[in-house]
Amino acid sequence: MARMVLGCILAAVAFGTPAKADVVSDWAELQSMADDAESDQAMRFDPSRISAYGRMTLAMFEAANAADPTYQSYLQLEAAPAGTSVDAAVATAAHAVLTKLYPGQKSALDDALTLSLAAVKDGKAKDDGIALGKRAAEAAMARGGWDEKAALSYYRPTGVAGRWAPSIVPFPPQLSAGKPWFLASLDQFRIAEPPALTSPQWAASFNEVKTMGARESKARTPDQSLKARFWAFYELDPVLRQIASQPGRTTVQNARMYALWSMASDDMDLVMAEGKLHHMFWRPINAIRTADLDGNDQTELDAGWEPLLNTPNQPEYPCGHCMFANLTATILAAEGPPPAGGYAFTSERMPAVRITLPDMATYAREVSYSRILAGVHFRMTNEVSDDLGRRIAEHAMARFAPPLKPTD
């Protein structure tokens, strides 16, 4: 099934469907499909795929940039001969990374590469592009991932000996040994401790989510309930393709956008996991059902309270959705003005619903608030996490592939 889907996607591209943005967007979507297909087959986490998307998009950027020198190389890759095919280089780079990381999808990915290269005229430019793509992939695969020699931090359930505690591991231990792209250490952006449970700030956040995030909330509107469900599992690929399809953009510009966004997102994931396991802060369902333990007379226990959406099996602080949306908004807003008509978001769980927003700032605000409406996060957490996502984005943007100077 995966082979058929991947082949159909590239077949459509080869015949010039209107959805085509460029080779970068096409292979970025193929990575997502390969990951889904391989994960479904394995039914377990594979640590070799930590930062898989980051490594693939970095390989595409380095290949495109070496063929069309526009930015400083992150991997110090040498420029390719003049006239080298950008499309052949990008497709080959993506294919080389993906077949290494997803060997079970090799046949489908081989077909996809054949279709991509069929659109490039045979000759020296194509041959140079293929050679460049392989070189870029090898350089990218040497970075990222996780340090197999590092000591792993394993999750240990808390509680009293002999008493039941949740046993599902919230994060794979290999994330504790993840190799960041732009960070000096995984705790570089560790946020301060949450407000004291006796504070007015805690009481305000507690009571807001208790009211707005309850499964049968009378205060939450139907539109807010829809958005809580929508933003829980939304898709970003169509928005990235929208941006990549804007008039005047080049393949190397698009490759840089995808690489910067995915590499910064990799770092964000590591910061989020480190922060959650460091703070081990309780979720609303825990706090509300045991409010008699927090020492705050402004909070009240509700032993039967349930959130609108199921609570993720992870500590609450910081908020991953909030971090990701604000990181994404910061990076993508810098790519230029919004597309005509705004950014069109879709959700894998709600295919009939589309939400169009005028700008990235609105998107970030909606995602952040949706986690309160879903009943799974506190406002005090979201505000800190919004800022954290923006700071990680700005940190990455200041360190990745600045434009070449006229004399470079």
What is d(CA 71, CA 408) in angstroms, rounded to the nearest whole number? 10
Average pLDDT over residues 328-347: 97
* pLDDT value, residue 311: 96
8 has a pLDDT exceeding 60: no
* pLDDT value, residue 40: 58
pLDDT band at 38 (very low <50, low <70, confident <90, very high): confident
pLDDT band at 276 (very low <50, low <70, confident <90, very high): very high
Per cent of the chain over pLDDT 90 is 79
Per cent of the chain over pLDDT 70 is 93
- Give residue-wise pLDDT tens across range 60-79: 999 999 999 999 999 999 99
* pLDDT value, residue 18: 38
317 has a pLDDT exceeding 60: yes
- The answer to whether position 314 is within a domain reads yes
* pLDDT value, residue 158: 75
Which CATH number does the domain housing residue 273 bear? 1.10.606.20
Q: Are residues 384 and 257 in the same domain?
A: yes
- Give residue-wise pLDDT tens across range 374-391: 999 999 999 999 999 999
- The answer to whether position 150 is within a domain reads no
Average pLDDT over residues 126-150: 93
Mean pLDDT of the chain: 91
Q: Are residues 46 and 184 in the same domain?
A: no
Q: Are 281 and 194 contacting, i.e. CB atoms less than 8 angstroms apart?
A: yes
Average pLDDT over residues 92-98: 98
- The answer to whether position 155 is within a domain reads no
Average pLDDT over residues 239-266: 97
Q: Are residues 357 and 295 in the same domain?
A: yes
Q: Are 323 and 390 contacting, i.e. CB atoms less than 8 angstroms apart?
A: no
- The answer to whether position 407 is within a domain reads no
- The answer to whether position 167 is within a domain reads no
Residue ending a domain, among 90, 117, 141, is: 141
166 has a pLDDT exceeding 80: no
- The answer to whether position 408 is within a domain reads no
- The answer to whether position 227 is within a domain reads yes
| Paired tokens of 227 | 């958005």
- Give residue-wise pLDDT tens across range 180-233: 999 999 899 999 999 999 999 999 999 999 999 999 999 999 999 999 999 999
- The answer to whether position 70 is within a domain reads yes
Residue ending a domain, among 141, 171, 194, is: 141
Q: Are residues 228 and 362 in the same domain?
A: yes
Q: Which residues contact 169 (CB under 8 A, 6 or more apart)?
A: 155
Peptide bond into 318 cis (omega under 30): yes
Q: Which residues contact 173 (CB under 8 A, 6 or more apart)?
A: 152, 153, 154, 155
Please state, in angstroms and as integers, the Cα–Cα distance from residue 121 to each residue in 28, 78, 86, 116, 124, following that order.
23, 24, 12, 11, 9
pLDDT band at 17 (very low <50, low <70, confident <90, very high): very low
Average pLDDT over residues 4-11: 50
| Paired tokens of 244 | 């990549």
Q: Poorest-confidence range of 301-315, 344-358, 394-408?
A: 394-408
What is d(CA 35, CA 46) in angstroms, rounded to the nearest whole number? 10
Q: Are residues 106 and 234 in the same domain?
A: no
**To which residue do tokens 């790519």 refer?**
335
Domain that holds residue 19: 2-141
What is d(CA 326, CA 264) in angstroms, rounded to the nearest whole number? 12
Query: pTM of the predicted model, to two decimals?
Result: 0.93
Q: Are residues 97 and 203 in the same domain?
A: no
Residue ending a domain, among 141, 170, 205, is: 141
Q: Are residues 281 and 196 in the same domain?
A: yes
Q: Are residues 96 and 190 in the same domain?
A: no
Number of domains in the chain: 2
Which CATH number does the domain housing residue 56 bear? 1.20.144
pLDDT band at 145 (very low <50, low <70, confident <90, very high): confident
Q: Which residues contact 406 (CB under 8 A, 6 or more apart)?
A: none
Q: Are residues 188 and 113 in the same domain?
A: no
Q: Are residues 293 and 191 in the same domain?
A: yes
CA atoms within 13 A on the CB side of 233: 10
Q: Are 348 and 36 contacting, i.e. CB atoms less than 8 angstroms apart?
A: no
pLDDT band at 407 (very low <50, low <70, confident <90, very high): low
Q: Residue 145: is it exposed, middle or buried by C-beta count within 10 angstroms (0-12/13-18/19+)? A: buried
Q: Are residues 270 and 125 in the same domain?
A: no
Average pLDDT over residues 293-321: 97
Q: Are residues 93 and 32 in the same domain?
A: yes
Please state, in angstroms and as integers, the Cα–Cα distance from residue 143 to each residue in 140, 147, 334, 337, following that order.
5, 10, 26, 32
Q: Are 208 and 368 contacting, i.e. CB atoms less than 8 angstroms apart?
A: no
Q: Poorest-confidence range of 99-108, 167-176, 229-238, 306-315?
A: 167-176
| Paired tokens of 115 | 């279709």
